[in-house]
């Protein structure tokens, strides 16, 4: 069973976020949380909250009675897209102006269990 979590308008460029996203793609949830907890980049703090949110979404979707570690929860899909940019101008010499782009991004995360749940087995039959 899949569960999705999204973070939108994170004030960080998508390129910086993708460096950390690539580290956790395909990993188990426990491994991903360990990587994110001890990584020094700011993006890891945002992604750690997102992984915890997706675990909570999965628990709610499966009626809150199942243990995520027991069903081998892993990160099936994770990607970072560019969001909107705040555009500002900074004064430059000779009366010119230089554009400053404050970039944002959106992250989407899908977690899934590797071992099937009894409900899924009954639904297939």
The more confident residue out of 1 and 48 is: 48
Beta strands in the chain (DSSP E): 2-10, 73-91, 97-113
pLDDT for 62 = 87
Mean pLDDT of the residues in the chain: 92
pLDDT for 63 = 82
CATH of domain 2-117: 3.90.470.10
Share of the chain above pLDDT 90, in %: 80
Residues 68 and 1 sit within 8 Å (Cβ to Cβ): no
- pLDDT at residue 124 tops 70: no
pLDDT in tens, 14-63: 999 999 999 999 999 999 999 999 999 999 999 999 999 999 999 999 88
Token pair, residue 9, equals 């308008």
Between CA 55 and CA 73 the distance in angstroms is 8
pLDDT for 75 = 96
77-97 burial, b at 16+ Cβ within 10 Å, e below that, comes to ebebeebeeeeeeeeeeeeee
* Predicted structure pTM score: 0.87
């Amino acid at each position: 069973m899949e569960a999705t979590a999204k973070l939108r308008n994170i004030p960080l460029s998508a390129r910086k976020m993708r460096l950390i996203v690539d580290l956790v793609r395909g990993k188990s949830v426990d491994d991903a949380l360990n990587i994110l907890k001890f990584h020094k980049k700011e993006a890891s703090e945002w992604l750690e909250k997102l992984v915890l949110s997706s675990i909570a979404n999965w628990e709610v979707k499966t009626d809150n009675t199942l243990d995520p570690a027991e069903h081998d929860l892993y990160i099936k899909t994770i990607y970072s897209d560019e969001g909107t940019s705040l555009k500002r101008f900074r004064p430059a010499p000779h009366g010119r102006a230089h554009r400053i782009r404050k970039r944002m991004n959106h992250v989407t995360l899908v977690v899934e269990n590797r071992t099937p749940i009894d409900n899924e087995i009954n639904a297939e039959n």
